[in-house]
Amino acid sequence: MNDTIVKEGVAALDATEFFQRGRVRLGFDVPPALIDPNIIPESGDSGTDRMLEIVAREQPVRPAAVLIPVVDHPEPTVLLTQRSPHLSNHAGQISFPGGKIDATDASPLDAALREAEEEVGLARGFVDPIGYLEVYGTAFGFRILPTLARVKPGFELTINHDEVVDAFEVPLSFLMNPANHQIHAKEFRGIARSYYAMPFAERYIWGATAGILRLLYERIYLP
């Protein structure tokens, strides 16, 4: 039997229930906010929402897609990457496999699967897509559409060091425990905005990655 995923103040889910709930609550309708600059992704933080409004007026929307690969071990894990330090955006940060949606991509899902293959060599045959979360906006103008996926164990990775320097797994139970969801604040042109951080061992998971993990927690675990 799969280990139970335990959180504070929220009903526990085992791995089977986690994936089943994802299939019920998520789907593959593409949210209009992915490409429409007039629709501002809601973050739940007024300062962040104001920042996204300003960014949408000043620069083009940059649609992107990422994969949230939950590996179906007896204790499920999330596969994450560390971006290369020379990249122009989010250099050195902890991230999901993913990137810009190209004109040749059939869908955001296709973009996320392509990027996962290109960055870490995760073969599509191991990936069972479950559905999209909400669009997540960033200060760089990216509109990120995350795809939750169940990943079968047994895959072998090949790291593309031009894009990432490492790939590693973090227990889903840790990432879905709200006790590990730290809230920090920083300023954007004098506007205070909050962001999530989920430090794990020597890894500092924060910013868009932690924010998307928080979205996952809210969609799957909250009523």
* Residue ranges of domains in the chain: 4-221
Q: What is the mean pLDDT of each run of 10 residues along the chain (223 residues)?
A: 40 87 98 96 89 92 97 96 69 86 97 97 98 95 97 96 92 96 90 92 94 97 92
Architecture of the domain defined by 4-221: Alpha-Beta Complex (3.90)
Q: What is the pLDDT of residue 92?
A: 62
Is the pTM above the cut of 0.75? yes
> Which tokens sit at 150?
């169940």
